[in-house]
Amino acid sequence: MTEGVLTMSHQEVDRLKIMQSLSDKHIKQAEAAVQLGLSVRQVKRLQKRYREHGARGVVSGHRGRRANNALAEGVRHAALTLVREHYHDFGPTLAWEKLTERHGFTFSVETLRQWMIADGLWVGKSRKAAKVHPRRPRRPCRGELVQIDGSPHDWFEGRAPRCTLIVFIDDATGALLALRFAPAETTQAYMETLHGYLATHGRPVALYSDRHSIFRVNHKDHEGELTQFSRALKTLDIQAIHARTPQAKGRVERANQTLQDRLVKELRLNAIEDMDSANAFLPAFMAAFNARFASEAQNPHDAHRPVLHNAQELELILALHHTRTLSKNLAFQFRNHEYQLHGQDQGYRLRGAQVTIIEPFEGEPTVMHQGNILPYRRLSEGEPSIPLDDEKSIHHTLEQAKLAQACRPNYKPSPDHPWRKRAPSHRSSALP
Q: Decide if 330 contacts 351 (C-beta within 8 A).
A: yes
Q: Decide if 248 contacts 215 (C-beta within 8 A).
A: no
Q: Is the pLDDT of residue 196 over 90?
A: yes
CA distances 361 to 22, 191, 274, Å, are: 85, 10, 21
Question: Strand 376-378 relative to strand 372-374: parallel, antiparallel, unpaired?
Answer: unpaired
Predicted confidence band of residue 230 (pLDDT cuts 50, 70, 90): very high
**pLDDT: which is higher, 72 or 77:** 77
- Give the whole-angstrom CA distance, residue 229 versus residue 215: 6
**Looking at residues 125-134, what average pLDDT do you find?**
62
The pLDDT value recorded for residue 291 is 94
Q: Is the pLDDT of residue 94 over 50?
A: yes
Q: What's the predicted TM-score (pTM) here?
A: 0.70
The pLDDT value recorded for residue 424 is 56
Which residues touch 288 (CB under 8 Å, ≥6 apart)? none
**pLDDT: which is higher, 409 or 22:** 22
Burial class from Cβ neighbours inside 10 Å (0-12, 13-18, 19+) for residue 195 reads: middle
Q: Decide if 178 contacts 193 (C-beta within 8 A).
A: yes
Lowest mean pLDDT among 11-20, 255-264, 355-364: 11-20
Q: From 287, 376, 279, select the one nearest 324 (Cα to Cα).
A: 376
**Looking at residues 215-233, what average pLDDT do you find?**
89
DSSP letter assigned to residue 106: -
Percentage, residues of the chain above pLDDT 70: 86
- Give the whole-angstrom CA distance, residue 216 versus residue 160: 31
Burial class from Cβ neighbours inside 10 Å (0-12, 13-18, 19+) for residue 213 reads: exposed
SS3 235: helix
**pLDDT: which is higher, 4 or 326:** 326
- Per-residue model confidence as pLDDT tens digits over 353-397: 999 999 999 999 999 999 899 999 998 887 777 776 554 455 566
Burial class from Cβ neighbours inside 10 Å (0-12, 13-18, 19+) for residue 322 reads: middle
Angle between helices 29-36 and 10-23 (to 10 degrees): 170
The pLDDT value recorded for residue 202 is 96
**Looking at residues 9-23, what average pLDDT do you find?**
82
Q: What is the mean pLDDT of the chain?
A: 85
148, β-bridge pairs: 168
- Per-residue model confidence as pLDDT tens digits over 139-182: 999 999 999 999 999 999 999 999 999 999 999 999 999 999 99
- Per-residue model confidence as pLDDT tens digits over 393-403: 555 666 777 77
Largest CA distance in the chain: 173
SS3 content of the chain, % helix, strand, coil (to 5): 40, 15, 40
- Give the whole-angstrom CA distance, residue 11 versus residue 17: 10
**Looking at residues 8-14, what average pLDDT do you find?**
77
Element (H, E) at 378: strand 376-378
Q: How far apart are the first and last CA of the chain?
A: 163
The pLDDT value recorded for residue 428 is 46
Lowest mean pLDDT among 282-296, 344-358, 385-399: 385-399
The pLDDT value recorded for residue 348 is 73
The pLDDT value recorded for residue 432 is 40
Q: Is the pLDDT of residue 75 over 70?
A: yes
The pLDDT value recorded for residue 126 is 66
The pLDDT value recorded for residue 1 is 47
Q: Decide if 211 contacts 243 (C-beta within 8 A).
A: yes
Q: Where are the beta strands (DSSP E) in 258-297?
A: none
Q: 119: how many CB neighbours lie within 10 A of its CB?
A: 12
Lowest mean pLDDT among 194-208, 243-257, 323-337: 243-257
**pLDDT: which is higher, 65 or 395:** 65
Q: Is the pLDDT of residue 132 over 60?
A: no
Q: Decide if 120 contacts 146 (C-beta within 8 A).
A: no
- Give the whole-angstrom CA distance, residue 72 versus residue 70: 6
CA distances 312 to 203, 308, 320, 360, Å, are: 17, 12, 15, 12
The pLDDT value recorded for residue 47 is 85
